[in-house]
Homo-oligomer: A and B are copies of this chain.
Amino acid sequence: MKGWFEYNWQVRDEWFEVCRRLPLKELIEERTGGVGSILKTLFHIVDVEFSWIRAIEGMEDWEPLFEDYEDLDAVKELSDMCRKQLEEILSNADADKEYSVVHVSWHSEPLVYGEVLRHVIAHEIHHIGQLSVWAKELGIKRVSANYIDRGLGQRMLSGNESRVIF
């Protein structure tokens, strides 16, 4: 699972870089589809990943409010902070944990730990696809969505991904 998170975080950071060239007006402009603006999308990706993983770890809810993150730097800072905590959480999760049943306050049915990890991974890739349409409309560079050519295959070979989640 480690590779998936690395992939999403690499892609996310590349979008932060691209978005740095846009004025705030474009970042907060309401657009068709998704959660409505580029900045809100980046915030939403971070928020969803962090909330779900904290929840399946049995940690207390911590719900950042979009209103508190008013520009790209603030959302990037939130992203970095959350990632640091997630790296620590996931580095302590072994492969057996992936098959454990978990309960989340906002979802009535029980879920499986690895199912939720895949949910947050797919969630980010889906929203990044939406960003790519808006970027094309704006005429700015679109970040590659390729999983290959990011060094992730080499890391699979050198790491021990089959036995630990992160």
Contact = CB atoms under 8 A, between A and B. Distances in A.
A22 interface: no
Interface string A143-158: 0011111001110110
How many copies of the shown chain assemble into the complex?
A: 2
A78 interface: no
How many of chain A's residues touch chain B, expressed as a range? 35 or more
A125 B132 CA distance: 12
A34 interface: yes
Contact of A122 (B114, B132, B145, B154): B145
User: Which 3 pairs between the two chains have the least Cβ-Cβ distance?
Assistant: A129-B129, A115-B153, A33-B133
Given A99-B156, A118-B147, A129-B130, 10 more contacts: A99-B162, A111-B153, A112-B156, A116-B148, A119-B146, A122-B147, A125-B129, A126-B132, A130-B133, A133-B134
